[in-house]
Amino acid sequence: MTVKPITDPVIAIDVMGGDAGPADVLAAVDIAAERYPKARFRLHGREADIVAALGKLPRLRARAEIFHTDDVVLGTDKPSQALRRSRTSSMGMAIQSVKDGAAHAAVSAGNTGALMALSLFALRTMDGIDRPALAALLPTLKNDSVVLDLGANTECDTENLVQFAIMGAAFARTVLGLDRPRVALLNIGEEELKGTGEIKDAAGLLRGADLPMAFQGFVEGDKIGQGDVDVIVTDGFSGNIALKTAEGTGKLVTGLLAQAFRSSWLTQIGYFLSRGALRALRAHLDPNAHNGAVLLGLNGLVVKSHGSANIRGIANAIGVAHDLVVDQVGERIARDLANFRAHRPDIADAEAPL
């Protein structure tokens, strides 16, 4: 069945989520409106705050609808507290608009645990997906890589890891523009005998599967930044640690460089001569340039912006949502899953004649 392409996506925005105020969030939406002239936006939050900001943003005002609520999910709220206000909070209303078909995707910079709980409660998982996975881009020496899961699931079995690999490859084909992304499982070694039974069994299934990916086996933590693979698959516990370690290392490197260049007049001259390269390094490592984690595997798209993201970072997260809608990543995942289930190697081997 041919799926009708989406050329004019509608994106629901949780205006009240995150550290940035409504004015900064709406400034980011305005940037997205300039980048994507056919997109429209549903703005969920306090109407007075939204109207005040839109007075300076005529382009966005012409392509947005306002949905008022005074209820905001706080960073300190537990997922259970957020669930009780799923239909009244700005975050819950944005997700509900995706469930109702009024929007193609929702974007929020709010409480991550609440966002995952509300999204799973409202949208449920796709057929063939046991658990959703949080996926995001990570800078490397070569190109960006997709990493998942980043915290939605602390423990994963073989089936979860295989499903994450299929979803991550579909995400990479959309966001990175790759026909056959290179996929690897994060492990404690590259040898086939290393790792848990779940990881080794997942590798066996992925090696024998006919999928639009190039399975590379295992990758160790110190090789993540090399950029030799496009999709890195792991459980949420390890993935979250890997992500936070990478972000912390980036801050460490830029901090040490700043200290070194301030240590003497000679190093200050060195900074003057190399400041262009240093600015490029800072821009490459800037989390705002890679902002926008996606909850893959749901019956609808939800994008998580970093809570401390700036205007440019929030705009980039909205851009991720836009691209995933237009490229119909959900349909890609569904097709790949159906193909895998129809030809999965373990079943094929079991049904082969003796």
Residue with the bigger pLDDT between 61 and 272: it is: 61
Task: Write out the CATH class of domain 137-291.
Answer: alpha beta
Here the tokens at position 171 are 């995400």
Predicted pLDDT at 315: 93
pLDDT digits (tens, 9 = 90+) for 60-73: 999 999 999 999 99
- Pairwise CA distance, residues 318 & 325, whole Å: 11
Question: Which residue from 237, 243, 240, 279 is spatially nearest to 145, judged by alpha carbons?
Answer: 243
Predicted pLDDT at 72: 92
DSSP string, 249-280: HHHHHHHHHHHHHTSSHHHHHHHHHHHHHHHH
Calculate the CA 197 to chain-centre distance: 27
The pLDDT-based confidence of 352 (bands split at 50, 70, 90) is very low
What residues does each domain of the chain span? 1-129+297-328, 137-291
Predicted pLDDT at 354: 45
Lowest mean pLDDT among 9-13, 206-210, 277-281, 296-300: 277-281
What's the pTM?
Answer: 0.85
pLDDT digits (tens, 9 = 90+) for 177-201: 888 999 999 998 888 878 788 999 9
Predicted pLDDT at 332: 87
pLDDT digits (tens, 9 = 90+) for 120-150: 999 999 988 999 999 988 888 888 889 998 8
Task: Write out the CATH class of domain 1-129+297-328.
Answer: alpha beta
pLDDT digits (tens, 9 = 90+) for 23-38: 999 999 999 999 999 9
Question: Which residue from 206, 213, 209 is spatially nearest to 181, judged by alpha carbons?
Answer: 213
The pLDDT-based confidence of 346 (bands split at 50, 70, 90) is low
